[in-house]
Chain A
Amino acid sequence: MPAATMFQPHSLLWHYLWAAPSILLLLLAVFIYRRSLQREFPIFLTFAIVQGVAGLALYGMSVAYWHFKPPLISGVFWWRANLVHLLIEVVLKFALIGEILSQVLKPFPALSKLGKLMIRVVGPALVLTATLVVALSRPSEFAPIVANSHSLDLADYVIECGLLLCIFVFAAYFHLAWGRLALGIALGLGVAGSVQLGTWALWSNLPVTVHQRTLLDFVNMGIYQISVLIWLYYALTTPKATLMDKLGEKDDHYEDRGSGGHDSRGSDSSGPDSIDEDERQHDLVVWNRELERLLKR
């Protein structure tokens, strides 16, 4: 089959790129559940299920519109459904980014306050930026419901990329180690978000032809497929949550409440390594005290 024919709407490739990520997302949800990863990433599980189901529903509606005479649904109905899906997707994506940040900061309570402050400052600034970007884009030649969907897509990717950039820069500055799955989720979101931001930027700011729009659609669908594969890879290669993990978490909870959990801060680990660690620990405490004193002067 010639490549030009493959890059047409309703080609085999088009059907595959639309339907396959949704099926893979549902498969991903099953893997997350079977490996008990939903305990740490409940929003990611919800995201996978909702995106999978909604993607298949939108694909089914598209088939019902294009492949039946007369169409089983109207075009306006499909766009309304798409807009509702977009709104849900935006909320879920931001919740997912919040989940990534909380997972990254979970072992570092010393930085969680600063991380939350960063999101509180950057979040509203990004919303304002996204509004400005949408307002400055070319007036759309499409019907209002289609134009609104496109604007929402553009704003979504501006905010998503901005938040991900902040988290990556924050983590890089403090050399924070990411959990395997948290890194995978951020990687998938970052790859898809950045490419789709680029394509929506072109779409909203340049006079693109129908053929170019179709190609941009293919790029978006292709990159989404890649990001779903990234999530699948990381979910499958993340170690399964074990019973010991669950018991360990319970211990942490007891320590948080101060109600009987063991506290090994005073444990008598011996050997030259632990002496070195103790000395460095002492140095850090002294240095922190001196710097705090300097800051409070």
Chain B
Amino acid sequence: MTLILLIVAAVATLALTAGYAVSRALPPASKADLAAQLEPIDIAAFRNLIDPAEDEYLRRHLSAGQFRVTQRARLKARAAYVRVARKNAVVLIRMGQTALAASEAGANDARANNDIREAALRLVNDAALLQQNAGFALVRIYADMAWPNRSTATVGILDRYQRVSDSAMLLGRLRNPGVAVRVTAG
């Protein structure tokens, strides 16, 4: 059994390593192709879906059974929005990477290259953060789907997190006022 697991691990490492090298050798998608893959999302509708006041209103005005059904439907809609956001983030990362590669190849003059590089790095970082947040948000939404009536026992922890985040943002601003800190929600 140990032997089989070790051989599987060895083959997986070799396949992934080779696959990565091959994928790097393939030509990147064009900017137009990538832009066509972006799906516009209605942020106002999403904001409404995650509004705790809406949840509370539904909880008060619906029976427990009706609330569970409605809440599951709302959670499904939330998950759909987040999945699209995550997909868009992946596309934006690839767009940023393409721009980075172009700036490193020296496609424009030095100043323009520098500007493109800065903008691309910012885009890739924000998109990567979005992808990471979307992943965590999906886990949270699936957990909520299993138990739509769950209590808000995590609020205390989240409040603490909010305080820590505020402190981190304050410290970040004091140390480097020019750089936007996105630790906490606005």
Contacts and interface: CB of A to CB of B under 8 A. Distances in A.
User: Bound pair: A and B?
Assistant: yes
Interface residues of B, number: 70
A178 interface: yes
Contacts of A283: 43
Contacts of A288: 126, 129-130, 133, 182
B90 A165 contact: no
B166 to A, nearest CB: 11
Q: Is the interface of B mostly helix, strand, loop or mixed?
A: helix
Contacts of A175: 90, 93-94, 97
Contacts of B90: 175
Given A172-B20, A291-B133, 9 more contacts: A109-B125, A161-B9, A165-B9, A177-B97, A187-B21, A202-B3, A290-B47, A290-B185, A292-B182
- Band of interface residues on A: 35 or more
A110 B7 contact: no
A279 B116 CA distance: 15
Interface of A: 107-111, 114, 133, 136-137, 158, 161-162, 164-165, 168-169, 171-178, 183, 186-187, 190-191, 193-195, 197-198, 201-202, 205-206, 255-256, 258, 263-265, 267, 269, 274, 277, 280-281, 283-297
Nearest to A269: B115
Contacts of B119: 269, 274, 277, 281
B158 interface: yes
Given A175-B94, A177-B101, A284 B43 contact: no
B178 A165 contact: no
Contacts of B179: 255, 263, 265
Contacts of B124: 107-108
Contact of B93 (A136, A174, A178, A286): A174
B3 A264 contact: no
A284 B89 contact: yes
Contact of A280 (B50, B92, B162): B92
A191 B137 CA distance: 36
A283 B38 CA distance: 12
B66 interface: no
A178, A197, A284: residue with the most chain B Cβ atoms closer than 10 Å: A284
A206 B123 contact: no
10 contacts: A165-B16, A174-B128, A176-B93, A197-B13, A205-B3, A206-B3, A264-B118, A267-B118, A291-B130, A296-B162
